[in-house]
Amino acid sequence: MWLKAFSVAVLALCAGAAASNLDRYEGYNKYTVFHNGEDAFNYLVDLQTESTELDFWLLTRNMSVVTVSPTEQSTFEARLNELNAQFVAKPLMEEMAAFNETLGACEGSECELNRPRRQARGFFSHFPRYSEVLNYMSALAARHPHNCRYESLGRSSEGRHIAALSISLNSRVRDRRVAYIQSATHGREWITPLTVLYLANELLNNLRAFQRVLQDVEIYLVPLVNPDGYEYSFTNDRFWRKNRHRYGGRSCAGVDINRNFPNNWNYNGASQNLCSEVYSGTGPTSEPETAAVARYLEYNRHRVKLSLDVHSFGKFLFYPYGYSRNAVAPTRNLLHSVAQRAANQIAKYRGTHYTVGTSASILYEASGGLDDYAYGNLGIPMSFTVELPGENFQVAPSDIIHICKETFAGFIEFIRHVSLY
């Protein structure tokens, strides 16, 4: 009886948290827009940087996913019709309610029988909060003191640690090569830190199996680059993207960390409107989060051979340059080949297909990202952005482990190429 009451209380708590972080989205519609013409595409690109009432979840050259406030829906639909762009509109809260039912169903005791016990009880069966992530990282380091070091890159706008794990065959030896991997640059992308932590867990628990991959390579992982935005997406706004930098006297807050790195800063796909989802900040690395990452990479620029920035969603593997369609990386062929090999390894698990190329050619031009900065400014030879699977930012809890496993295969393939340098 007590267990049943406890389960009901947990479900009620989860439902309450879900409701509170979705309160502002009552009346919003989620639009899936199909646009083959340049006019419609350009219209949407302009909206992304100019409008504060639309939130782009995905923007490609022929299809986009965007949420629109009630006040802007009629204008948005009229303009799409003028541009002959087909679209499907669905109330956002309906979609989120369906997800929350799935989430709740997998929290009760009756759901335990439908999943492997180890998976049901494991860390990778739910979306952890900031403190749980840090506790998990600390525990990994404590269990593997000779191969794992837990440290902080610095602090966020709100004072949270930007925690990191260093993994190597001998944590006391400074390896010549570093593979740097970060995630949760955008707060709402909850699946991303789990894939990075799964990599850490698998490597540390199977060191012998991966001894060749780790030979003279340090794996440096930063699962929550944007800890403030990540926490805020749980407590206040499920779809919060930026950090939580607040400006005195202004109601809008936050900078898009993915537009704040100093490669062609604010050149394309970014905004100087403080309220924009792609606000690029007051200057390059103006944010403590980007500054912390830049300090680490610049100090270790001659050791870091791989930079991965893990995002969600879309099933893409991007390489530089993203700031312009006309900018071509000198080693484009190598970058494409490595990314395609990683995509092939991911596909072996359950057939998930990733598209490989530059974000500027597949999506839209956007400046200030980590991949362009690591490759273009620091000379890190292999720099990529990973966009994980999904139809939106919600992933069913039962699918977490599968995304982690398939992404792990891609991570290992990327890391394997570090030995080339």
Selecting among 277, 289, 365, 387, the annotated active-site residue is 387
Query: Are the beta carbons of 325 and 365 closer than 8 angstroms?
Result: yes
Whose structure tokens read 């629109």? Answer: 68
Among 140, 126, 101, CA closest to 193: 126
Q: Which amino acid is at 344?
A: N
Q: Position 329: which residue type?
A: A
Taking a C-beta distance cutoff of 8 angstroms, is the pair 59, 48 a contact? yes
The verdict on whether 132 is a catalytic residue reads: no
At a CB cut-off of 8 Å and minimum separation 6, what does 344 contact?
413
Helix axes 92-105, 2-20, angle to 10 degrees: 160
| Dihedral in degrees, nearest 10, Cα atoms 56, 61, 64, 69 | 50
Q: Say if CB 184 and CB 193 are below 8 A apart.
A: yes
Amino acid at 182: Q
- Known catalytic residues? 387
